[in-house]
Amino acid sequence: MTRKRGDRPEVALTEGAIRVSWKGKVRTILPSAKPPDAEDEADFFVDLDDVVCWDPPDDDAEIEMDELQRILEAIDEAFERMGLVVAYE
């Protein structure tokens, strides 16, 4: 399957947050506190319960499960390229 340009989430780290741009929508993901039971030594912790909707003005649109999967893959790839570790809770 060939994917067109723009059919892949773009990930940027900005001022301590992850900014995901995809299909004309944006989602800013702020870091969550390191959970007390976390064994990971991650550079950034993401609470998946916080990644539900897109940022305004698209905040009435939920992020679908398949979209979330693609977003997380893109975040993992971006962090790996930067030599950083992200953990999901």
CB 32 within 8 A of CB 45: yes
Phi, psi of 43 (to 5 degrees): -85, -20
Residue type, 24: G
Q: Per-residue pLDDT for the chain (89 aa), expressed as one digit of tens each?
A: 344 555 899 999 987 899 999 999 999 999 998 877 777 688 999 999 999 999 999 999 999 999 999 999 999 999 999 999 999 98
pTM: predicted TM-score of the whole model, two decimal places:
0.86
How many domains, in total, are found in the chain? 1
Q: What is the pLDDT of residue 5?
A: 52
- From 25, 5, 8, select the one nearest 74 (Cα to Cα): 8
Q: What is the pLDDT of residue 50?
A: 92
Domain of 32 in residue numbering reads as 10-88
Is residue 33 in a domain? yes
Q: What is the pLDDT of residue 6?
A: 57
Q: What is the pLDDT of residue 35?
A: 76
Is residue 34 in a domain? yes
